[in-house]
Copies of this chain bind each other. A is one copy, B any other.
């Protein structure tokens, strides 16, 4: 698996830092996109069926327009999401998955499904951890 990454040809440490996500190897960058907070949810929703912008917004519940737009643009740019803007009034834009996006969404959904399945176990583990460690309070 090679996770190295090493210096991204910049070598800067303090002073000039690498700007956010742009300074990592492309492989990790894609991963960041599909596993991003809203990216995960968008992919899963679109795997079910195409959605309009505000449909996604409502389905997700708590996401600002800005973040949803940003997420969708990133995923579109990565070739995972297809944006179909119809020239009508009022505007209507449908988002759907590309072939590539369906593959990614499948993986993501599998992960999400696992999470849901095992959620209870995880919560038990947390309680056990907190009990053993803090014994009530860590402070």
Interface positions of A (Cβ within 8 A of B): 1-6, 12-15, 26-27, 30-32, 34-35, 37, 40-41, 44-45, 48, 59-62, 76-80, 100, 103-104, 107-112, 114-116, 118-119, 121-126, 128-130, 133-134, 137-139
What's the minimum C-beta distance from A26 to chain B, rounded to whole angstroms?
A: 6
User: CA of A49 to CA of B40 in the docked complex: distance in angstroms?
Assistant: 28
Are A1 and B79 CB-contacts (below 8 A) given A103-B118, A104-B114? no
A115 and B34 contacting across the interface, CB-CB below 8 Å: yes
Name the B residues within 8 Å of A129 (CB-CB): 76-77, 79
Which of B26, B61, B108, B110 makes the CB contact (< 8 A) with A2? B61
Q: Is the interface of A mostly helix, strand, loop or mixed?
A: helix
Name the B residues within 8 Å of A119 (CB-CB): 26-27, 30
A111 and B34 contacting across the interface, CB-CB below 8 Å: yes
A62 and B138 contacting across the interface, CB-CB below 8 Å: no
A79 and B30 contacting across the interface, CB-CB below 8 Å: no
What's the minimum C-beta distance from A131 to chain B, rounded to whole angstroms?
A: 10
B45 and A115 contacting across the interface, CB-CB below 8 Å: no
Counting from the closest, the 5 A-B pairs by CB-CB distance are A79-B125, A14-B138, A35-B35, A14-B134, A3-B61
Name the B residues within 8 Å of A78 (CB-CB): 122, 125-126
Name the B residues within 8 Å of A80 (CB-CB): 122, 125
